[in-house]
Structure 1
């Protein structure tokens, strides 16, 4: 299994969730001030300056855009191509409608322990720690956004419960 690169891992699993969980709602809805890409690139570059030169990565491939998925506003962050396990393809800062919360969901690169084949894991960071929501979709933005919407949409309960 390939270990995650420190720059990529710390950005996705430490620095970005800290920022998003702290500033939450302001990040999920565009304020007319333009793209958040310069802010994200600044966070990426600032983190890189704390690492040894051999651990620093360029921000090529880093991107973001505001979307809405099933009525849930979200900020989709596209990351530089992951190489190591637990590095992420995408991150979503999502504001589930009807709540005051923001959730931080990741689509992490994974390798099968059986045959080493690539796959993904849907993860989430909260104030309590990291959650593993199991196998994720293929690393395609639209599939990830649909998985996030499904994850944050409350389950409908019918009259007859099983």
Structure 2
């Protein structure tokens, strides 16, 4: 799986060819999430983190982790119709290594449709990479009953949790909310069981439907 996703330096779509890029302006608040953005953030990343935690951490901690992340994004795009492909503009990897934990933040290309991710955040035990969690801040629909139109979610091998929090789409604020969840200061709002979809199959070829 990992070799297929970031084993080569995919250059991504040609940014000068407007025929093969899903431009930011082509989506609006009423549309479904863009397929490239959605599959990267809400399927591929959780599967990589939870299904293969040790190679995920080991590879993305390397000096070329940023390029590997871009390769994953662009290699996903190569499997999509040209009209669904997006450039990797804005995709960024933030790495923080503390005494006991490794943290990796992923800043996504700008989320403009509901159900796309603003950010992802991975935390794992420094001595045991299998003790790992992955969070995301999703763009919500407007109007919404909360102060900010966002959804703070977590994926695990059972499904997807959402939390009783709606931080603004700011990476530093999102990171603080994740730490509050780790400290059990924020409660779970909902839980959805996605196991029948086979997202976290032991097979490297598992490919969930969007």
- Change in CA separation of 1:6 and 1:26 when aligned onto 2, cut-off 3 Å: same
Q: List aligned pairs for 1:61-100, cutoff 5 A.
A: 61-67=90-96, 72-95=101-124, 100=130
The answer to which structure has the higher strand fraction is 1
SS at match of 1:59: coil
Q: What is the Cα-based RMSD across aligned positions, in Å?
A: 2.7
Measured in 1, the distance between the counterparts of 2:125 and 2:184 equals 9
* Aligned counterpart, 1:56: 85
Which residue of 145, 152, 157 corresponds with 1:122?
Answer: 152
TM-score (normalizing by structure 1): 0.81
Q: Which runs of 5+ in 1 are unaligned?
A: 156-162
Render the CA deviation track for 1:101-137: whole Å, top value 9, x for unaligned. Answer: 111100001123459x961110111111111114421
SS at match of 2:86: coil
Range 104-113 or range 69-78, more displaced = 69-78
Which residue of 150, 153, 161 corresponds with 2:180?
Answer: 150
* Aligned counterpart, 1:43: 72
**Contact in 2 for aligned 1:107/1:122 (Cα 8 Å):** yes
What is the number of residues matched between the two proteins?
Answer: 154
Runs of 4+ in 1 over 6 A off after TM superposition: 29-32
Tell me how far 1:33 sits from its aligned partner.
Answer: 2.9
SS at match of 1:112: coil
Is residue 24 of structure 2 the alignment partner of residue 10 of structure 1? no
**Contact in 2 for aligned 1:69/1:145 (Cα 8 Å):** no
Tell me how far 1:21 sits from its aligned partner.
Answer: 1.4
Tell me how far 1:97 sits from its aligned partner.
Answer: 7.6
